[in-house]
Structure 1
């Protein structure tokens, strides 16, 4: 009997020690996994116009307030977008207006901070329209400003895209896309003629002109199209002009950005612009008034898709 009890006790001890060993092994495995995860989490520091921001690479939940950046993330297949301002969404990015898949975080100028805070995002990306709210965004999550500097458009655009590539591990893809756009630009520069152009923004009957180093100055600065008036002041909002000015300048071509179409108003830029005075210009007579796509030019400029399409539109004007 004693012998049986001794055997039973020995078996129980063996089982107990085996269980302890398994528990220790499981604990060690969990610790190792945690250490590996911690070691694999790489941070990135982005220096931008509004400061310096450090955060984990490959963020999984991102709020995007710039449609050009949204455009680029879509092109690169980055699926980290969690929240966007859904009003006035460019038509080609319409899928991001799905409120069931993406959080509506306000408008381009009025953020819904309560909704953003509730999301607990890993990263917030903003641009010029939200710059004044940078500190409020930063109180919620790491915030990076990736706006385009129109005085050095391509340098700024390429820097933004390279930064985006570094954040999400898409450096090679960005390099390939930028090379393709550069080829497009060289083609349009080769196609540009001596015709002089005037760039106009139409807004509910009012018109503004844009020259080099301005919001739409890429047409002159990068694409090589000559200006009808070298004296236009460089600005974000353009130089207010009259129809008499257009007739006096008499451009060979006109590139028109219709803000009305971009924000969904009923007013037609063409109806107000092509009046009796403008009909006397060379641009009108030669059928050289080109209405640019406002989705690309007004809403989402500075994206991999939008810049490529912008080049194509200018190219087509010389074909």
Structure 2
């Protein structure tokens, strides 16, 4: 009798231990250890469960490609839109990485072939979110123009959490914040006013605060030369050369969209005409041509934001 009782006790202990182990495995994702742990990412388009340390990542956003590269995660990147990659991300045109279309026209067949663990999209692809979700867990990581730093830092911290790179991300963000603080101090003691422009196909658009390039005003504190720009935050306000002359900015920032999309370097020919040459910006050598790779293609990444901050500083030096 005592032997049967002892045997029952031992069996009961084994069953409890086994059940406990099974429960522990479930909390760590698919039960395959630490690499299978899941986290929940809340984003603008929904709530997505993402496996930690995904092995195959597809990113449609070049700012997030920039950040992943800076965090040392290039081996986890499986597919990128290879058309019009900025020079500093040219290595992702190599055969190691699958071409998944363009920023506005994803190649869903190519993405399906990858069988990714994670897909990252942003504003240019948000209308196609449901199609991406059918393939793999998809997170939206766009930039909120009205909350540039908050959304930028949130995106970086989310990627850092997914890949266990929190310490490195914290240091990178601290360095950027330090640069911003330095420029803000210079801007406070400088009354210069700036106009931000984009040239494309011979036409010019202007951007003000709370726009896609508004960090110059909103984050760095450089004053706007135009009292009011009735601009679409993404596409800007169409302006004439007379508008630039009448605004007469101390600093004229120029982004060349043609150069960004491989249609030539045309900004200088468009901007430096007889009317603009009468402005304070031209007279004082304060027309600042910004790198379109950073500003138009990959803005919102750890590298691009750091470079954008440094480039904007040229206007108040």
Q: Secondary structure at the match of 1:38?
A: coil
Q: Secondary structure at the match of 1:265?
A: coil
Alignment partner, residue 112 of structure 1:
107
Alignment partner, residue 249 of structure 1:
247
Q: Hey, which bits of structure 1, 4+ residues long, moved more than 6 A?
A: none
Q: How does 1:55-134 map to 2 (within 5 A)?
A: 55-78=50-73, 79-98=75-94, 100-134=95-129
Distance apart, 1:56 and its partner CA: 1.1
Distance 2:315 2:249 in 1: 14
Distance 2:62 2:50 in 1: 22
Distance 2:314 2:186 in 1: 9
Counterpart of 2:236 (choices 238, 254, 257) is 238
Distance 1:222 1:263 in 2: 27
**TM-score of the superposed pair, with normalisation by structure 2:** 0.88
Alignment partner, residue 16 of structure 1:
none
Q: Secondary structure at the match of 2:49?
A: strand
Alignment partner, residue 15 of structure 1:
none
Of the two, which has the highest radius of gyration? 1
Q: Secondary structure at the match of 1:312?
A: helix
**TM-score of the superposed pair, with normalisation by structure 1:** 0.87
Q: Secondary structure at the match of 1:54?
A: strand
Counterpart of 2:279 (choices 268, 278, 281) is 281
* Alignment check: 8 A CA contact 1:210 1:239 kept: yes
Q: How does 1:1-319 map to 2 (within 5 A)?
A: 38-40=32-34, 41-78=36-73, 79-98=75-94, 100-192=95-187, 193-234=190-231, 235-266=233-264, 268-319=266-317
Provide structure 2 residue ranges, at least 5 long, that are not aligned to the other structure. Answer: 1-20
Distance 1:279 1:316 in 2: 19
What is the root-mean-square deviation in Å for CA atoms of aligned residues? Answer: 1.6
Per-residue CA deviations over 1:212-256 (Å, capped at 9, x if unaligned) read 000100000001100101201351100111101111111111000
Distance apart, 1:160 and its partner CA: 0.5
Distance 2:32 2:59 in 1: 26
